[in-house]
Structure 1
Amino acid sequence: MTATQAPPSARFDPALRGVALAVVLGTIMTTLDTTIVNVALNVLGRDLDASLSTVQWVITGYLLALSMTIPITGWAIERFGAKATWIVSLALFGAGSILCGAAWSAGSLIAFRALQGIGGGLLMPVAQTMLTRAAGPERLGRVMAVISIPGMLAPALGPLAGGLLLDHLSWRWMFYVNVPVCAVALLLAVRLLPRDEERRPESRLDLLGLALLSPGLAATVYGLSQVGEGTAGTQAFAGLLLGAVLMAAFVAHSLRGAGRALLDVRLFRDRAFTASTVTLFVYSVGVFGVLLLVPLYSQTVSGPGVLAAGLLVAPMGAGAIVTMLIAGRLTDRLGPHRPGITGILIVLAGMFACTRVDVSTGPVLMAAAMFVIGLGHGLVTPSIMASAYRTLPRPALPGAATASQILIRVGSALGAAVTAVVLQSLIRSQGTGVGTFATTFRWSLVIVAVAVVPALLIPRRPAPPA
């Protein structure tokens, strides 16, 4: 076999392409729904006769349900199988979308958003598990590039789609638009996903672990969201303290459980997994801050307009798509170390340009900086995610996917909180000038720069034999 010929186990065969197609179509809905409603809070409050503090729970309730559901993913895959769990999750998300569109009050909408979040919380870790199982170590870079597509597009397309729908249709269509996509995703799942052959019907749910980890994660996300909204008082402190206590208790429980806990924290003994997940956590904190800052900068400097703000974020998605086309192949050929660190350095270059904004900076220059950030982001996400799973045994994949999603979720919430606190403190001392945003961009740049440290610990070697 020549050096240019890929072995059969390294080829992107039709079966793997079918799994990837079914997975991307299912996950893109949940990622869009984390941002599409953000632009509709005022409209929802007016139509449902509710205060902004009440309507805010349409977003917070979805995120909390999403966070609380993620920890049971590993057990559900082991007990019922990945395909069955995926289909049930899609059905729950679709049913929640229909009910959200038919909601008659703020309370009913919040409850139905929670149902959406339960289905959505399972989808991403199940998707990663199915793809890593189907791909094997020699194709992990390419399948992680595929699974990263929804995450790349959501920050740009969510507010943009929400703005377009609100301009021309009722807010209810922000939820109804999910229904046909969900129906097609269900059909593809039934036809294309492999049969569940790796399940253990006798597997028992770790109820004590669930009682510790899910509320602990929800309390942490809630506390961070309160900090992000400027409520850095009793509610935020209580949420963060309760979350820290419950998750610390879960870690102790998991270490005593000898692998029978809801999530086996001994996975973090693996160097590649630990270095990769810590890198993703720190990187998510910094990059999510930028995704919040840019729309605020647009509306402050260029005037109000949801559509204009969405268009300013869109170049990041475009840049990410460009490099994702090669990121997977580079990772599979060279290993994740070099593509991942190169991507972080490119992101830092784009963020440095954001820190140089002044009164003469127009939307074109900011859009160019976002495009550069996207170019780096398209390298970082697939390579670092692939690195997390390369050296783990096959039975550990569901738990690993669950753990990585938990860290990314908490990292995103922490990024929103840090950005909001820094921006609000600067506004109080300096006002809402351009310099306030430039300084806040510097905070995000420093956080992303810290991600280089754990990234340097990622193993340099290419994929091991399948």
Structure 2
Amino acid sequence: MTEAPAPPAERVDRELLRIAFILVLGTFMATLDATIVSVGLDRLTEEFDASVAEIQWVSSAYLLAVVAAVPASGWLAGRFGGRRVWLAAIGVFLLGSVLCASAWSASSLIVFRVVQGLGGGLLPATGQALLARVAGPGRTGKVISIVAVVPLLSPVFGPLAGGSVLAVAPWPWLFLVNLPIGAAAVLLARRYVPVVDPAPQRTAFDLRGALLLSPGLAVLVYGLTEVAHDRAVPAAIGVVAGVVMLAAFTVHGLRTRSTPLVDPRLFARPPFGAAALALVVLGASVFGTTFLLPLYFQSGRGMSAWEAGLLLAPQGLGAAAGSVLVNRTISKVAPRTLVVAGIVLIVAGTAPFTLLGHGVPDAVVVSALVVRGFGMSMVGAPVMNIVYSRIEPEQLPRAAGALNLLNTVGGSVGTAAVAVILENRLAATGADVPAAFGATFWWVLGFCLFAAAAATRLPRTQPRKG
């Protein structure tokens, strides 16, 4: 039985756009900070006289903290209200930024990055849920299509922004640059973002679930990171321990009579399961490519970090252009059509990189990145609109937390997977670095095709507006 056609979408007025802009500032800071530091790792290695193995934890610690924080975002927003949690997360993130800028050693910087990551992990999910709640089902699609482009732009422009900062200022400004943005976000939110009441029925915090899910995810991501660095024993311990803890959480989530931190049953509810799978695989593809291309430009073609970041910029421009199209069509075109078309464009934009071993001109690289960016913008917003428009308002914080968690984990797993594959290809091809990168991109294509298969299970029709 097919659903009735949806009535015309409600108009997105200036007030809602202003709220969206304010909330997206938090997402912008959190996602940008995950990558802006990457180009400063060499500078930090010299500053603190640290080894490469030690300084890479400046990035890894932030990522693990984000992964650990996301699962709690739904319960916190339901318990204390979305705006209050979002403002508190901004505060924690800014505190972490100040502490990072004041670090006196590599160890202290790593600890302070954990503080920053805990705040950053709460911002995207809490902001999306709050925005969807304020917008209502009739306007969610259009407004989400505007803000969903930010996580796509941040990994592209992060290294470019980091290189720009280091060109004119010392390393602490990699973190201090967050302060004016965060301060503006807090002041504007207190004035313009409405208060959304907590859930009417307060639930107890799922302590057992939290002790299994967040550490389990963090340990799993740690294990995958160690796989990428070819450290067998910690990798095996991390992956096995993480999988066991996540399996135990799933059993707990299905058996508990109280509300679990993330309800495994959500993934059995159509279209949530298909949407979640598409986001996981898309995250693996997007972040895997964002990891591979700068590395190829620098190690395979001898470019500087600034040049590599500049060559990646067309992907961000494509994503911005695609978001305009999605904003105009998201209420008129079936979600599955948009998502599948977007994945097809990602495949088309990824295919040229499988030929890196044969020499790919810069013009082809730029064109492929524009096409990839355009396709990426056609996936995230429709998928989130499907979920946010079909779920009860009180469930929005938990659903947003689950989707952001899966996207983050997908990105982490994808990055670790392509790093391992690249390492093996480099060992097999020897001095032929472009050929090794080209072979690795065949796996990225495989991720995209898997996402396309998941997308075929998305709804043919628009959700009912209520």
Q: TM-score range by the shorter chain?
A: over 0.9
Listed as ranges, the gaps of 5+ residues in structure 1 are 1-5
Deviation readout 1:250-292 (Å, 9 max, x if unpaired): 1111111235111221112211111111011112112222111
Listed as ranges, the gaps of 5+ residues in structure 2 are 1-5
CA contact (8 A) 2:7 2:465 kept: no
Aligned match of 2:333: 334
Distance 1:369 1:417 in 2: 23
TM-score (norm. length: structure 2): 0.95
Which 4+ runs in 1 deviate beyond 6 A? 6-9
Aligned match of 1:203: 203
Q: Superposition pairs for residues 144-223 of structure 1, below 5 Å? A: 144-200=144-200, 202-223=202-223
Deviation readout 1:324-371 (Å, 9 max, x if unpaired): 012133222223111110000011011112222345423222111111
Aligned match of 1:17: 17
Alpha-carbon deviation of 1:127?
Answer: 0.9
Distance 1:158 1:86 in 2: 22
Deviation readout 1:120-139 (Å, 9 max, x if unpaired): 11111101111211222232
TM-score (norm. length: structure 1): 0.95
Asked whether 1:94 is paired with 2:94, we answer yes
Which amino acid in 1 is paired with 2:343? I
Distance 1:183 1:449 in 2: 42
SS at match of 1:333: coil
Which amino acid in 2 is paired with 1:246? M
Q: Give the direction of change, closer, same or farther, for the CA distance of 1:8–1:90 in structure 2 (3 Å limit).
A: farther
SS at match of 1:35: helix
Deviation readout 1:50-74 (Å, 9 max, x if unpaired): 2221111111111111111111111
Deviation readout 1:234-256 (Å, 9 max, x if unpaired): 11111111111111111111111
Asked whether 1:139 is paired with 2:139, we answer yes
Alpha-carbon deviation of 1:200?
Answer: 4.7
- In the alignment of these two chains, the number of paired residues is 460
Identity %: 39
Q: Give the direction of change, closer, same or farther, for the CA distance of 1:152–1:247 in structure 2 (3 Å limit).
A: same
Alpha-carbon deviation of 1:380?
Answer: 1.3
Q: Which moved more, 1:338-347 or 1:299-308?
A: 299-308
CA contact (8 A) 1:349 1:373 kept: yes
Asked whether 1:253 is paired with 2:252, we answer yes
Distance 1:40 1:275 in 2: 38
Aligned match of 2:3: none
Distance 1:174 1:201 in 2: 42
Distance 2:108 2:386 in 1: 42
Aligned match of 1:278: 277
Which amino acid in 2 is paired with 1:24? V
Aligned match of 1:357: 356
Distance 1:240 1:47 in 2: 33
Q: Superposition pairs for residues 1-80 of structure 1, below 5 Å? A: 10-80=10-80
Aligned match of 1:267: 266
CA contact (8 A) 1:94 1:182 kept: yes
SS at match of 2:197: coil
RMSD: 1.7
Distance 2:362 2:46 in 1: 31
Distance 2:230 2:42 in 1: 18
Distance 2:355 2:32 in 1: 30
CA contact (8 A) 1:93 1:119 kept: yes
Q: Which moved more, 1:355-364 or 1:281-290?
A: 355-364
Alpha-carbon deviation of 1:198?
Answer: 3.3
Q: Superposition pairs for residues 356-375 of structure 1, below 5 Å? A: 356-375=355-374
Q: Superposition pairs for residues 402-413 of structure 1, below 5 Å? A: 402-413=401-412
Q: Which moved more, 1:244-253 or 1:133-142?
A: 133-142
